[in-house]
Structure 1
Amino acid sequence: MKTIYLLVLCFTMAIQSGCAFKDIDKRIFVIAIGVDKSDDINNPYRVTLKLALPTQKLDPSVNNTQIISENSKTITGAIGRITAKTSKDLNYGLLEACVLGESIVNENINEPLNWLSRRFDIPMEGMVALGKPNAETVLKMKPRSENYSGNALFLSLSESGSISSFTVPEHLYDFYRRTTEKGVDPYLPVIETENEVYKIDTAALLDKQKLKVILTPDETRVFKELLQSYPHFEITTKMVDQPFVLTIEQLKSRYTIYTHNKNKPIIHVTVQMRGIVEEFVNQLYEENWTKFEKHVEQEEKTKISSLLKKLQKNGIDPFGFGLLYRATRHEGDKEWEQWQSIYPEAIFDVNVKVSILGTGAIK
């Protein structure tokens, strides 16, 4: 009886192994996916996969990736055509980046985002970005600093490597949440290729469906500081006709919404910064720090106010003021309707406080 049971068990495992499990040497890992609009009217989607090729040793001079692109009526159809070109099973468990081409983001992001979020095998913690001029160009480039398949793209987008005040990282799960949550809108870092390096110094702001505006690098720096209360950035200005650079090491931001006067609702934005002087030719003594602090405060207030008004003019809310309004009111479904009428008329009251902690190693 035991012998029969063991035979049945072995037979069942053999069937399961043949149907559901494939050895590692029969798989190929997708490390990045790009979605663009194609030039073919009948097959509007162009999908690009960046595949990692197994190697025995790390050698930056060897191309250890493979790029395959296909056009189709649907993203699923394009993936099916790519699968027909590979000898191994496509595995998405190590997917690190999803790049949406500028043509897709300009038109509608719902279809690619719907496909990405429905797949059980695509990690939602992967990075997402806007590829300019298109996703395929971004995925095809191999930076010289890349020491194994696709790691340069992931390190640049996630800030696991270099950290820049102009790079605004975004995960797929948060991007999806922002497209479905009332009161907060999505954004994407913009990635371009330049002289065999990735250039990521601007951010794209979207409504729930498509691109509304791309910020300048300076606006992107202000956007990141408010969005993430992000320290470790530089404020550059001029004092006494000399460049003055203050490196911010601590930052706190807070938002409050007042609607007591319905004709003039006010959004209070309070930002506190503390930093160290990094660059200034003239001598700087402790007794005259105040005028430097006031000067930086005024410049930052102007930049923040300008950015907030620009977002308001375009009808987008990436900072989640609407979400804050809904969370602090208890009027049911009316809250969202109220906010939609309040936001376009709101006045921004920006208050910036800058404190200089020191002048570096030079006194």
Structure 2
Amino acid sequence: MKKNIQRLGKSFFIIVAVSVLLFQSGCGFKDIDKRIFVLSIGVDHTDNEERPYRVILKLAVPSGSIKQSGTEYTYLVGESESFSTAIRNLKTQTDKELDFGHAKVIVFGEDILHHELEEIMDFFLRRRDIQLVSWVAIGQPSAENVLKAEPESEMAGSHALFNLFDQNGVESPLVVTTYLFDFRRRVLERGIDPILPVLFANEDKKRIDVNRAIVVNGNKKRVELNPKQTTIYNLLSNNSKRFDVRVKNDDLNFTVAIDTSNVHFHINTETKQKPIIKMDIEMVGIIQEADVYTDSSKLQTYSKATSKTIEEDVLEVLKKFLEEGVDPLGFGVRYKATRLHNNKRNEEWQELYPKVTFEVNAKASLKSTGVIE
């Protein structure tokens, strides 16, 4: 009797489950031929107060064959009072559903930096289909110019900006990589300032240069770094292990290729009247170019000259950060993390940072003068 009841119960459960599935509404899934993929998003600021945001979407146009010629990309451009409204309006300009799952680059126009960054990035953080590992950059002369640039080396269905930032296509100490999640952290966290790479599109839109960066602090102040300063920043933040150093003085004139590098710093506030940031830099490299004869027996001399040059370059950049009142390296975060917590640590650091002095100790070890003697 119990077995019959159990069998009837199982049969009833199966019938109910099947019935529920039959009456379920369709899910949100759309076939791939009903979707179009957004590769990158651009945002420029307009002078229109009613529609202040100009949103640009770069879309990949699917092709039946890799060898097929013709248009590989298309663009949607619209202006609105908010990002959400702009995206909704742009959907009416295409016959396919916009898919943001492959959007890995967000480019802001330079004028955006004059406005509240928290409000600007809010949309990108709330949407579940925009990746937090998307790269964020500044576009010059505008985000639209950068996104509409199509370098001749760009392949169909790919994106030149992907290769610039993912460190697989291009490995350069001049490229600063900032992720969306890190950009948010830097905007909200006290003690570290956001830094964004600068993308510049030339007039014919056939080339994109990325060899500079911009630091933004909480007061909307912008500090632009030239290529040399950008390289030093990547070195100090341990984002790049390889870079070139030009050593030039009265007796020596050569270029060193650094293969590996490591940077550590310590904040000493035992005497609050004169806090000290001690920075140790270790590097290994070889001489790859020289205007004078180089003797392999003098590698120690060349190493000392390289160390001195690095110390001077690093001190120049650190003093620039201090004079401009910006902190992209996170000295303030390190100070708060290495002291017992209280509610005044941030205020303490704001008072200490202008008084900081830097002590840089660079140790370069050159292994050879190259393959020629």
Q: What is the CA–CA distance in structure 2 between the aligned matches of 1:181 and 1:73, rounded to whole Å?
A: 28
Match of 1:36 among 34, 44, 69: 44
Q: CA deviation at 1:201?
A: 0.3
Residue aligning to 1:292: 302
State the number of aligned residues: 360
Alignment pair present for 1:273 and 2:302? no
Residue aligning to 1:8: 19
Q: What is the CA–CA distance in structure 1 between the aligned matches of 2:219 and 2:30, rounded to whole Å?
A: 38
Q: What is the CA–CA distance in structure 2 between the aligned matches of 1:47 and 1:264, rounded to whole Å?
A: 48
Does structure 2 retain, via aligned residues, the 8 Å contact 1:60–1:146?
A: no
Residue aligning to 1:314: 324
Alignment pair present for 1:129 and 2:140? no
Q: What is the CA–CA distance in structure 1 between the aligned matches of 2:341 and 2:125, rounded to whole Å?
A: 32
Does structure 2 retain, via aligned residues, the 8 Å contact 1:186–1:208?
A: no
Q: CA deviation at 1:62?
A: 3.1
Higher-Rg member (1/2): 2
Q: CA deviation at 1:9?
A: 4.0
Does structure 1 retain, via aligned residues, the 8 Å contact 2:51–2:80?
A: yes
2:217 maps to a residue whose letter is: D
Does structure 2 retain, via aligned residues, the 8 Å contact 1:60–1:145?
A: no
263 and 240 in structure 1: CA distance in 2 versus 1, 3 angstrom threshold: closer
Q: CA deviation at 1:61?
A: 5.0
Alignment pair present for 1:282 and 2:273? no
1:152 maps to a residue whose letter is: A
Q: What is the CA–CA distance in structure 1 between the aligned matches of 2:32 and 2:356, rounded to whole Å?
A: 57
Q: CA deviation at 1:39?
A: 3.2
Q: What is the CA–CA distance in structure 1 between the aligned matches of 2:69 and 2:253, rounded to whole Å?
A: 41
For residues 9-158 of structure 1, the aligned pairs below 5 Å read 9-13=20-24, 15-17=25-27, 20-59=28-67, 62-158=70-166
Q: CA deviation at 1:129?
A: 0.5
Q: What is the CA–CA distance in structure 2 between the aligned matches of 1:44 and 1:245, rounded to whole Å?
A: 48
Q: CA deviation at 1:209?
A: 6.4
1:310 maps to a residue whose letter is: K
Q: What is the CA–CA distance in structure 1 between the aligned matches of 2:69 and 2:274, rounded to whole Å?
A: 61
**1:20-79: CA deviation from partner (whole Å, max 9, x where unpaired):** 222221111111001110132321110101111111122485322111111111111111
Residue aligning to 2:4: none
SS in 1 for 2:40: strand
SS in 2 for 1:136: helix
How high is the TM-score relative to the length of structure 1? Answer: 0.93
SS in 2 for 1:116: helix
1:332 maps to a residue whose letter is: N
Q: CA deviation at 1:239?
A: 5.2
Q: What is the CA–CA distance in structure 2 between the aligned matches of 1:83 and 1:28, rounded to whole Å?
A: 11
Residue aligning to 1:221: 231
Residue aligning to 1:346: 356
Q: What is the CA–CA distance in structure 2 between the aligned matches of 1:209 and 1:156, rounded to whole Å?
A: 30
> Which stretches in structure 2 are left out of the alignment for 5+ residues?
1-10
Q: CA deviation at 1:7?
A: 5.9
Q: Relative to structure 2, which stretch is displaced further, 291-300 or 168-177?
A: 291-300
SS in 1 for 2:237: helix
1:26 maps to a residue whose letter is: K
Q: What is the CA–CA distance in structure 1 between the aligned matches of 2:236 and 2:58, rounded to whole Å?
A: 34
Q: What is the CA–CA distance in structure 1 between the aligned matches of 2:371 and 2:109, rounded to whole Å?
A: 46
Does structure 2 retain, via aligned residues, the 8 Å contact 1:201–1:217?
A: yes
RMSD: 2.0
239 and 312 in structure 1: CA distance in 2 versus 1, 3 angstrom threshold: closer
